[in-house]
């Protein structure tokens, strides 16, 4: 579980807070909406509570100012008529690579690169964005109602680097960062073995994968000790990143699908005392008791295509027979379970079910044992909690970021379209 | 899947009789006139009662029924009654649709048997030769309501061989499952190697053209020998040219894996030049040249609607644009790339972009059958067609809906309740 992790304000806001500076006008207007917005008359799904028919949501100063059935309309507000529509919090995609080009996904020259930051490969422009200069708009994600996502290096490395939580729209590349670094990203199982074998080097087996990670984490422990004893010790970017992991400032996310890989992930987390999130988790049911007891959350891949690996048809020894009930069963076992896209290079044949399809895909789980409420929670509040950003996003609650999606039908129907997306109170997408 | 527990007891209708035209006609006549009387022999009749029947051959029938016997659909409508001894399945409040047809898949074989990579042009390969009747793929297909599939070689060669059209159920004897043995010649556009010819799309076009010319010459030599009164030894046989000759003589047709509009037009030029029948597969950018396809009656089987593949909104609307231009289209899952269970969602997503519900359904049933040249047997719920259908617990196109029953050749081959999930 995540222990007392706090999100950091975006760098500019941070500077303004600490130095008492006024933010440049462009950033101020982008981060704080000028005029209140009132979304009125729709079926409001706050996620944190029951549906509110004919409900109202008030957005002010980039935050949610009110949610309810009888909420007064502030003077001078822009009123949005949502009659016949559904209003829900922005969708949170707990695992994505969208915005990172195919050649920037994996630093395959070295199986362990803790110093790398995914944000520095993040290039959500061109087809990912509006395709023109101006504020950043990841239309691909926004069109599916996704307003927050975790981006990370892909899985060819044993330890790929540091992931980030970003919004899908903002004034610029820095303005979208919610939390960075947000986790250390690791992978166990077939993908690192395959990548290493192609270069004729370790790890060639699962044993080597775990031994190499263990050796690296031991080094990080030693670095931590030496640094405490000698503050002038030469800096090492990778070791500094792992220090954050070992001090539980950020969690470790380990992509592990086969039960044996999940077991290794649990063992490493216990041995080195870091907070663990299991990504992929196809074999999680076999490990459910330990996952539940240790309160380890699981981020599952798409229900329709649960193979989160980079291979088009992945190694079957990593994946037990596909079970669409997995999300329901894990949730029922008390395991915090999110459904994510793990989407990769845009427009390629690699797994790239982008945020655009997350609601539709997750809707399948509603036929396999989950209630609609549970499904919606698995793509909003639960991923927000797993990412450590639930104080800002994931539900329609007063004080949270004004990230609101308006849909023209029930959120899990294939006929439904996202009509408007408000992010930090600003209209950033309209169909 | 526990077929043994879900199938009704074996009835005493001999197999041969079930399929004989005479027996069939008799059944049809009795069911149309009146319910079969109490004197009727024990039979294998199944009546699906009270559902919304989406026939893919007309308007939906509300509160309708379908009677299956002898492996075939023998009656359909709003007033069909159950003959004595028939198994009755209550489908009230449920959607009944034809068994789905995946027009383009690579199932039933080992993934290592899909592509003969060293080969560039290998029309002599037959997918039939690598099909495993006991593969788990078949169960997966059936559980998703897919009852007919065009399964064939991959796209690792520019010509990779003959696909086969077959049922996804029916046991070890493949001959009983095959609808069309020469199920189409697979072409795949785009260079397949960086190390050997062809490494460009120009090279691919030239080598295909060269091979087709050689095939023409092969046919000409054959014809000359016959015209000359079959004197002397016949020309040497070549399995490759002999197989490609099936394409040029239109005994089969080309199934071309193609993404870019440029490669689509290359295929169109080859078709115009050599006069073969052409269908496009994956067809990502086919919408850009839709009028060219409509003009020539070229059908398109479209992949990109798989929910896993992020493509531009323009291309997502591609099936709609093709449909509007009058191009016949089907959706495919490319299984095992996308699990066939979600073939229906490929059609659902097309619906999202403006294709009407019944037309979307045709893309995974009737159109898929017509493109595969097996529409006389499958693809719609009409009297005389094979008894392949699917019963959903909700709208067939919604992600959350579940397959309740699948019937194949008139018998229950999947029963969700018996599966225990």
Q: Which of A287-291, A396-400, B316-320 shows the lowest per-residue confidence on average (mean pLDDT)?
A: B316-320
B352 vs A302, A313, A415: nearest CB = A415
The answer to whether A393 and A425 are in contact (CB under 8 A) is: no
Please list, in sequence order, all residues whose beta carbon lies within 8 angstroms of the beta carbon of residue B305, skipping any fewer than 6 positions away.
Answer: B316, B319, B331, B346, B347, B349, B350
Task: Give the confidence band of B2 by pLDDT, cuts at 50, 70, 90.
Answer: very low
Chain A contacts of B190, Cβ < 8 Å? none
Helix (H, G, I), strand (E, B) or coil at A202: coil
pLDDT at A318: 83
CB of B399 less than 8 A from some CB of A: yes
Q: Please state, in angstroms and as integers, the Cα–Cα distance from residue B28 to each residue in B24, B72, B385, B407, following that order.
A: 6, 10, 12, 19
Which residues of chain A make contact with B394, given a CB cutoff of 8 A? 367
pLDDT tens per residue, range A193-209: 988 988 899 999 999 99
**Structure-token pair, residue B80:** 């069909």
pLDDT tens for A138-195 read 888 899 999 999 999 989 999 999 999 999 999 888 889 999 999 999 999 999 998 8
Which residues are CB-contacts of B356 (< 8 A; sequence separation ≥ 6)?
A: none
Q: Which chain B residues in 294-353 lie under 8 Å from chain A, judged by CB atoms?
A: 306-313, 336-339, 341-342, 345, 348-349, 351-352
The residue of chain A nearest to residue B392, with distances taken between CA atoms, is A367
Distance between CA atoms of residues B333 and B414, nearest Å? 20
Q: Are residues B281 and B156 in the same domain?
A: yes
Which position has the higher pLDDT, A154 or A379? A379
Q: Report the C-alpha gap between B33 and B29 in whole angstroms.
A: 6
Mind listing the pLDDT tens digit for each residue in B356-369? 999 999 999 999 99
Write out the residue limits of the CATH 3.20.20.140 domain(s) in chain A. Answer: 91-392
In Å, the largest CA–CA distance within chain A is 68
Q: Does A313 touch chain B (CB under 8 A)?
A: yes
Q: Are residues B351 and B397 in the same domain?
A: no
Interface test with chain B among A304, A370, A412, by most B beta carbons within 10 Å: A304
Q: Is the domain of B368 the same as that of B394?
A: no
More confident site: B213 or B119? B213
- Least Cα distance to A186 among A214, A151, A161 occurs for A161
Distance from CA of B335 to the nearest CA of A (A): 10
Q: Quote the number of domains for chain B.
A: 2
The H-assigned helical ranges of A324-368 are 326-332, 358-362
Residues of B with CB below 8 A from A356's CB?
A: 310
Q: Can you tell me the mean pLDDT for A259-279?
A: 98
A352/B310 Cβ within 8 A: yes
Interface contacts (A, B; CB < 8 Å): 84
**pLDDT exceeds cutoff 70 at A131:** no
Which of A319-323, A382-386, B11-15, B289-293 bottoms out in mean pLDDT, i.e. has the lowest? B11-15
Residue count of chain A: 431
> Given this model, what pLDDT does residue A397 score?
98
Residue with tokens 């191009």: B327
Rg value, chain A, Cα: 21
How high is the pLDDT of residue B314? 73
Say what the pLDDT of residue A56 is: 98
Helix (H) or strand (E) holding A342: none
CA distance B348 to chain A (A): 7
Q: Which of A131, A143, A349, A376 to mutate to test the interface with B (most CBs of B within 10 A)?
A: A349
Residue B87: count of CB within 10 angstroms of its CB = 17
CB-CB neighbors (< 8 A) of A322 in chain B? 339
The C-alpha atoms of residue B226 and residue B229 are separated, in whole angstroms, by 5
Looking at chain A, which residue has its C-alpha nearest residue B112?
A: A313
pLDDT beyond 60 at B19: no
Which run of H or of E encompasses A141?
A: helix A139-142
B68 and B105 both lie in a single domain = no
- Which CATH number belongs to the domain containing residue B58 in this structure? 2.30.40.10
* CB-closest option in B337, B393, B399 to A412: B399
Q: Are A179 and A388 in contact (CB under 8 A)?
A: yes
Same domain as B121, residue B64: no
pLDDT value for B304: 58
The pTM for the full model equals 0.88
Q: Is A142 on the interface with B (CB under 8 A)?
A: no
A285 in B contact zone (CB under 8 Å): no
Domain identity same for B72 and B138: no
Helix/strand/coil for A362: helix
Confidence tier at A345 by pLDDT (50, 70, 90): low
Instruction: Determine whether the interchain pair B309/A353 forms a contact, defined as Cβ–Cβ distance below 8 Å.
Output: yes
Does the pLDDT of residue A127 top 80, yes or no? Answer: no
pLDDT, one tens digit per residue, over A275-302 is: 999 999 999 999 999 999 999 999 999 8
Is the pLDDT score of B31 beyond 80?
no
Q: Is A126 on the interface with B (CB under 8 A)?
A: no
Cα torsion for B212, B215, B220, B222, to the nearest 10°? -170
Question: Which residues in B lie closer than 8 A to residue A98 (C-beta atoms)?
Answer: 310
Lowest mean pLDDT among A402-416, B217-231, B303-317: B303-317
d(CA A342, CA A351): 8
- Phi and psi at residue A202, to the nearest 5°: -75, 155
| CA dist., res. B419 & res. B86, Å (int) | 23
Every domain range in chain A assigned CATH 2.30.40.10: 32-90+394-431
Chain-centroid distance, C-alpha B3: 23
| Whether B111 and A364 lie within 8 Å, measured CB to CB | no
Residues paired with residue A137 on neighbouring β-strands, in sequence order: A169
User: How close does chain A come to B115, measured CA to CA in Å?
Assistant: 14
Chain B residues close to A414, C-beta within 8 Å? 345, 348-349, 351-352, 397-399
Interchain contact, B310 vs A361, CB within 8 Å: no
A54: left (phi over 0), alpha (psi -120 to 50) or beta: left
Pair B416, B398 in one domain = yes
Phi, psi angle pair for A333, to nearest 5°: -85, 5
According to CATH, the superfamily of the domain at A32-90+394-431 is Urease, subunit C, domain 1 (2.30.40.10)
Mean predicted lDDT score pLDDT of chain B: 88
Instruction: List the structure tokens of A349.
Output: 């044949």
Residue B337 has pLDDT above 90, yes or no: no
Same domain, yes or no, for B416 and B357?
no
- In angstroms, how far is CA B246 from the centroid of its own chain? 20
pLDDT at A353: 66
Distance from CA of A309 to the nearest CA of B (A): 13
Dihedral of the CA atoms A323, A329, A330, A331 (nearest 10)? 130
Residue B17 is part of which domain span?
Answer: 1-98+380-421
At B308, is the pLDDT very low, low, confident or very high (cuts 50, 70, 90)?
Answer: very low
A351 contacts in chain B (CB < 8 Å): 308
pLDDT band at B111 (very low <50, low <70, confident <90, very high): confident
- Flag if B400 and A143 touch (Cβ within 8 Å): no
Suggest the residue from A93, A97, A315, A364 to mutate for an interface test with chain B (most B CBs closer than 10 A).
A364
The tokens of B332 are what?
Answer: 């495919």
Q: Please indicate whether, in this complex, the C-beta atoms of B421 and A368 are within 8 angstroms of each other.
A: yes
Chain A residues close to B308, C-beta within 8 Å = 302, 304-305, 351-353, 357
Q: Does A412 touch chain B (CB under 8 A)?
A: yes
Place of tokens 């329709």: A304
Quick one: which of A158, A153, A151 has its CA closest to A197?
Answer: A158
Cα A364 from chain centroid?
Answer: 20
CATH of A91-392, one of 3.20.20.140, 3.40.50.1220, 3.30.310.220, 3.30.70.3270: 3.20.20.140
Indicate the range of A217-221, B194-198, B238-242 predicted with least confidence.
Answer: B194-198
Q: What is the SS3 assignment for chain B?
A: CCHHHHCCCCCCCCHHHHHCHHHHHHHHHHHHHCCCCCCCCCCCCEEEEEEEECCCCCCCEEEEEEEEECCEEEEEECCCCCCCCCEEEECCCCEEEECEEEEEECCCCCHHHCCCCCCCECCCCEHHHHCCCCCCHHHHHHHCCEEEEEECCCCCCCEEEECEEEECCCCCCHHHHEEECCCCEEEECCCCCCCCCCCCHHHHHHHHHHHHHHHHHHHHHHHHHHHCCCCCCCCCCCHHHHHHHHHHCCCCCEEEEECCHHHHHHHHHHHHHHCCCEEEEECCCHHHHHHHHHHHCCEEEECCCCCCCCCCHHHHCHHHHHHHCCCCEEECCCCCCCCHHHHHHHHHHHHHCCCCHHHHHHCCCHHHHHHCCCCCCCCCCCCCCECCEEEECCCCCCCCCCEEEEEECCEEEEEHHHHCC
Cα–Cα distance, B315 to B301 (Å, whole number): 14
C-alpha to C-alpha distance for B72 and B178, rounded to whole angstroms = 16
CB contact, 8 Å: A140 with chain B? yes
Contact criterion met (CB below 8 Å) for B69 and B80: no
pLDDT at A44 over 60: yes
Query: ipTM of the assembly?
Result: 0.87
Check if the beta carbon of residue A338 is closer than 8 Å to that of residue A383: yes
**Rounded to an integer, what distance in angstroms lies between the CA atom of residue B115 and that of residue B357?**
36
Is pLDDT of A14 > 50?
no
The better pLDDT of the pair B324, A131 is held by: B324
Decide if A352 touches B, using CB distance below 8 A: yes
Q: For position A125, what pLDDT does the model report? A: 67
**What pairs with residue A183 in β-bridges?**
A163
Contact: B338, A305; criterion CB under 8 Å: yes
CA distance B95 to A407: 26
Per-residue pLDDT tens digits for A100-126: 877 888 898 999 999 999 999 988 765
- 3-state SS, A238-273, equals HHHHHHHHHCCCCCEEEEECCHHHHHHHHHHHHHHC
In whole numbers, what is the pLDDT of chain A averaged over residues?
Answer: 88
| Contact predicate B56/B98, CB 8 Å | yes
Report the alpha-carbon distance of residue B253 to residue B247 in Å, rounded: 5
Q: Tell me the chain B residues in contact with residue A365 when contact means C-beta distances shorter than 8 Å.
A: 400
Share of chain A above pLDDT 90, in %: 71
How far is B251 from B248, CA to CA, in rounded Å?
A: 8
Q: Residue A114 burial (CB < 10 Å; 0-12/13-18/19+)? A: buried
pLDDT of residue A15: 39
Which pair of structure tokens corresponds to residue A277? 């999130």
pLDDT tens-digit map of B59-105: 999 999 999 999 999 999 999 998 999 999 999 999 999 999 999 99
Beta-bridged to residue B28, according to DSSP, are none
Q: Which of B363, B378, B393 is the last residue in one of the domains? A: B378
Q: How far is B322 from chain A (nearest CA, A)?
A: 20
Min Cα distance B400 → chain A (Å) is 4
CATH number at residue B154: 3.20.20.140
| Residue A303 reports pLDDT greater than 80 | yes
Task: Return the C-alpha torsion angle A123, A127, A130, A132, nearest 10.
Answer: 80
Q: How many CA atoms lie within 13 A of A24 on its CB side?
A: 6
Q: Which of A6-20, A49-63, B65-79 is predicted with the least confidence, judged by mean pLDDT?
A: A6-20
Residue A61 above 60 pLDDT? yes
Q: Is the pLDDT of residue A17 over 90?
A: no
The angle at the Cα of A72, spanning A69 to A76, to the nearest 5 degrees, equals 135
Q: Which of B351, B352, B400 sits opposite A367 (nearest CB)?
A: B400
Average pLDDT over residues A57-79: 95
Residues in B touching A302 (Cβ below 8 Å)? 307-308
At B1, is the pLDDT very low, low, confident or very high (cuts 50, 70, 90)? very low
- Reported as a pLDDT band with limits 50, 70 and 90, residue B335 is confident
Binary contact (A367, B421; C-beta < 8 A): no
Please indicate whether, in this complex, the C-beta atoms of A143 and B348 are within 8 angstroms of each other. no
Both tokens of residue A43? 């079926």
Nearest CA in chain B to A372: B400
User: What is the average pLDDT across B295-311?
Assistant: 73
**Model pLDDT, residue A186:** 98
**Averaged pLDDT, A346-357:** 58
Q: How far off is chain A from B366, nearest CA to CA, in Å?
A: 22
Residues B415 and B353 in one domain: no
Same domain assignment for residues B115 and B90: no
């Amino acid at each position: 579980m995540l222990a007392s992790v706090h999100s950091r304000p975006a760098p500019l806001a941070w500077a303004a807070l600490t130095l008492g500076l006024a933010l440049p006008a462009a950033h101020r207007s982008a981060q704080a909406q000028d005029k209140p917005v009132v979304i009125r008359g729709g079926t409001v799904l706050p996620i944190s509570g029951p549906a509110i028919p004919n409900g109202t949501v008030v957005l002010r100063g980039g935050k949610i100012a009110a949610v309810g059935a009888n909420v007064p309309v502030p003077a001078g507000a822009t009123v949005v008529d949502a009659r016949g529509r559904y209003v829900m919090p922005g969708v949170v995609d707990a695992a994505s690579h969208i915005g990172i080009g195919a050649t920037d996904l994996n630093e395959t020259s070295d199986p362990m690169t803790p110093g790398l930051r995914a944000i520095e490969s993040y290039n959500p422009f061109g087809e990912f964005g509006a395709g023109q200069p101006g504020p950043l708009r990841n239309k691909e994600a926004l069109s599916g109602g996704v307003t927050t996502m975790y981006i990370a290096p892909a899985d060819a490395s044993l330890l790929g680097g540091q992931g980030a939580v970003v919004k899908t729209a903002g004034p610029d590349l820095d303005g979208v960062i919610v939390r960075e670094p947000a986790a250390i990203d690791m992978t166990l199982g077939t993908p690192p073995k395959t990548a290493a074998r192609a270069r004729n080097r370790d790890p060639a087996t699962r044993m080597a994968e775990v031994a190499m990670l263990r050796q690296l984490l031991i080094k990080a422990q030693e670095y931590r000790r030496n640094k405490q004893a000698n503050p002038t010790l030469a800096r090492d970017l990778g070791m500094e990143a792992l220090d954050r992991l070992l001090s539980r400032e950020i969690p470790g996310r380990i992509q592990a699908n086969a039960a044996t890989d999940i077991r290794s992930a649990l063992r490493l987390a216990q041995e080195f005392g870091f907070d663990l999130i299991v990504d992929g988790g196809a074999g999680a049911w076999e490990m459910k008791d330990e996952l539940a007891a240790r309160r380890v959350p699981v981020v599952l891949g798409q229900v329709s295509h649960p193979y989160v690996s980079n291979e088009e048809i992945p190694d079957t020894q990593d994946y037990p027979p596909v079970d669409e009930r997995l999300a329901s069963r894990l949730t029922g076992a008390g395991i915090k379970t999110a459904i994510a896209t793990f989407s990769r290079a845009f427009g390629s044949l690699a797994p790239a079910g982008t945020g655009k399809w997350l609601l539709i895909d997750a809707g399948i789980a509603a036929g396999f044992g989950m209630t609609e409420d549970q499904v919606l929670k698995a793509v909003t509040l639960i991923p927000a909690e797993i990412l450590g950003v639930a104080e800002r996003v994931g539900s329609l609650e007063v004080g949270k970021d004004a990230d609101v999606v308006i849909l023209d039908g029930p959120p899990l129907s294939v006929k439904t379209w996202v009509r408007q997306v408000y992010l930090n109170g600003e209209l950033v997408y309209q169909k | 899947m526990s077929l043994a527990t879900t199938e009704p007891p074996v009835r005493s209708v001999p197999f041969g009789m079930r399929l004989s035209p005479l027996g069939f006609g008799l059944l049809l006549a009795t069911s149309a006139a009146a319910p079969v009387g109490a004197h009727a022999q024990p039979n294998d009749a199944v009546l699906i009662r009270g559902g919304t029947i989406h026939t893919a051959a007309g308007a939906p029938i509300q509160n309708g029924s379908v009677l299956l016997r002898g492996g075939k659909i023998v009656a359909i409508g709003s007033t069909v009654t159950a003959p004595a001894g028939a198994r009755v399945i209550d489908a009230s409040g449920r959607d009944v649709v034809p068994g789905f047809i995946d027009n383009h898949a690579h199932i039933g074989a080992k993934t290592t048997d899909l592509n003969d990579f060293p080969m560039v042009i290998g029309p002599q390969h037959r997918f039939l030769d690598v099909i495993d009747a006991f593969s788990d793929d078949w169960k997966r297909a059936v559980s998703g309501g897919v009852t007919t599939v065009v399964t064939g070689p991959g796209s690792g060669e520019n010509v990779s061989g003959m696909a086969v059209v077959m049922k996804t159920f029916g046991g070890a004897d493949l001959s009983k499952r095959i609808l069309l043995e020469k199920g189409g010649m697979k072409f795949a556009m785009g260079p397949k190697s960086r190390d050997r010819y062809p490494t460009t799309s120009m090279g691919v076009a030239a080598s295909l053209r060269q091979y087709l010319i050689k095939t023409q010459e092969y046919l000409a030599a054959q014809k000359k020998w016959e015209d000359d009164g079959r004197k002397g030894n016949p020309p040497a046989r070549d399995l490759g040219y002999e197989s490609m000759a099936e394409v040029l003589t239109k005994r089969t047709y080309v199934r071309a894996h193609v993404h870019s509009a440029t490669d689509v037009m290359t295929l169109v030029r080859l078709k115009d030049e050599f006069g073969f029948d052409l269908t496009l597969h994956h067809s990502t950018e086919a919408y850009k040249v839709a009028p060219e396809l409509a003009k020539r009656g070229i059908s398109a089987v479209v992949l990109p609607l798989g929910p896993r593949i992020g493509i531009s909104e323009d291309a997502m609307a591609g099936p709609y644009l093709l449909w509007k231009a009058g191009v016949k289209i089907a959706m495919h899952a490319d299984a095992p790339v996308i699990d066939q269970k979600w073939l229906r969602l490929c059609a659902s997503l097309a619906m999202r972009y403006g294709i009407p519900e019944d037309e979307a359904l045709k893309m995974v049933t009737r159109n898929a059958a017509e493109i595969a040249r097996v529409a006389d047997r499958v693809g719609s719920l009409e009297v005389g067609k094979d008894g392949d259908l699917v019963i959903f617990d909700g709208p067939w196109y919604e992600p959350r809906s579940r397959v309740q029953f699948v019937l194949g050749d008139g018998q229950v081959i999947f029963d969700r309740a018996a599966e225990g999930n």
